[in-house]
Chain A
Amino acid sequence: MGDMQPLLHVVDLTKRFGGLVAVDNVSLDIFPGEVVGLVGDNGAGKSTLIKMVSGVYVPDGGQIFFDGKDVTFASPRAARDLGIETIYQDLALAENLDVGSNIFLGREIKRQRLGGMLHSLDRHKMRAESAQVLDRLEIHVPSLTQQIRNLSGGQRQAVAIARSIYWNARLMIMDEPTAALGVSEQRKVLTLVRTLAGQGVPVIIISHNMQDVFAVADRIVIMRRGKKVAERLASETTPDEIVSLMVGAEAVHEMGVIPKAIPGNGA
């Protein structure tokens, strides 16, 4: 991966809230096709960092290069227009609408009627396109005409991801994607993350769950108190090491608790 151009190249990014330095000179590279776990304790600055990348916050210092170009985002919309999609825990789906409607929410396909006098929704086409993108990601939902509220948590997650992919996501950021899911559902979402990476879309996963991180990530970035403290290849580290980096090695020893190695280091 060394000779490849990073898709996202972040240099010395800094964000302050009053006297608090939430993110302190963080640099980060994300390459096409990789899954990066972003870990850290609460308040470590993961979310703030991600919010700068996705256009929610304007950085106080540093630069963001996307696809080699220096970018500044005035709004989340601007980031999304470049293909940086963020999937939040609440997913932002309209539960009363069906799968296709959600994938096309706000960007519906229309059809002209009566010689352009009327613009009606082309539900047929939206459904067909939805089926295609779901298929491409190997996502199975019971029916495209099901309201979202009748789907499981994992299926909703999948619909949200499919929506991003359909709209040409080039970098996917996922905030605790498995937090609210059952075990088998968690596995499906993680498989989907690997599928995305396999199709060349890099994924940044923010997670507290070491098991998840080791299950999908190629690389793990550890943050503590606003700083990036380390970066490890998942194949060359252990959950123990990551946890001690997250909380600071001294703290771990004080607590005397080091979690046992967690299975699932594969994908």
Chain B
Amino acid sequence: MREHGSANGALLTREQAQAIVEKAVKWSKADAVDVQLNTYTQGNIRFADNQVSTAGATTDAQLGIQSAFGPKHAVVTTNDLSDEAIKRAVEQSERLARLAPDDPESMPQLGAQQYAPVSSYFDSSAALTADDRAKAALIALEMARQAGDVKAAGYLVNTAGTLAIGNSTGMFAYHRSTNVNYTLTARTADGTGSGWAAADHADWAQIDARGVAETAIAKARLSQKPVALEPGRYTVILEPQAVGDLVQLIANYADARSADEGRSPFVKQGGGNKVGEKIVDERVTIFSDPSDPQLLGRPWDFEGMPLDRQVWIEKGVLKQLIYSRFWAKKQNKTATGGPSTFKMAGGTQSVEDLIKGTTRGILVTRLWYLREVDPRTILYTGLTRDGTFLVENGKITKSLRNFRFNESPLFLLNNIEALGRAERLAGTEQGGNVVMPSIKARDFNFTSLSEAV
């Protein structure tokens, strides 16, 4: 039989999670076993055309067992946490692992580790109810209905979860977290204007639902009846979300092995990688830090490596690429673990300040549908969306048609004119704990126009 449970008891405590990990270890006959266990509850409301469309709640769990016999290993996951299911998953992963061919890159398990705890669980977020969510949605809906000239579409979701990992050599880590994410798009009734705003935090108390609604609606109105500007290279002011949409991509290319193997933007001519070289403007510093109050990330990676502050780019110089444990050993380097957070340090200016200091440029709210065009330079294509404006002599003067761009975050970070304040992002396609500044940069490459609003 499956175990009885309720939504209230859906999240496992540290002790409960540890007990399940220990059961799997106890029942394992493999040379080594690694266990990953998460439990979560999630509630959401979605609205469009000025009214609720769907609302829901989900409770689930996932238990992953990796068994290894020497260099052979395999993973089995299940969402059933009963003793029978744990035994079944252990046995099944052992069966698959025995069949699997040797993995010459398999690494010995990590032993017990020390982790600096991070408090990313907030009762305010975990306790959010369907009523609370509907009332928060209603703020934007009523504002839009009363305005008469805009339609609101949005999504509010709160999640509470736990994640634990452990293994047969005594490593165990447990982290619990909450998150609230609210995104809102306001479109004008005539179909010519669209504005977007969002908020994201571990703590519901930090979410300003009214502020989000006011910004999105104001932006929708300001963006009405856009005019076409010839595509080409322009000075841009990218809001933090637009910066993040591009700059966050760098993390996907930061694998040291790919660089050492000659297939990465960080390949040094003639072989090796670019660590130690200046690759972007000296005002650029990018780091990971789970304990940063704007980030509040998990302080360990999925292998159990402790994650502390790690600097990837400092004052424009590439300081570090991501080393897996295998590649680090092979290259005689230190393994970095897989980061859970990503932050680019900013300045003190607001987006308004950047606008005031600009003679002619294009203000971009966010980017959309980014897809790789050339991995050698992290060249991506994508489009601007939900608020693109012409800035002249320190003021927004016109709403502009959206552009398609072909641009690389590395080129962008070499063309910086000014940095604004760093903010936590809510709408990046990849998700995650990301903090980015606004950036004013020259020569941003817009390649064509889009009629899309």
The answer to whether A and B come from one shared complex is: no
List B residues at the A interface (Cβ < 8 Å): none
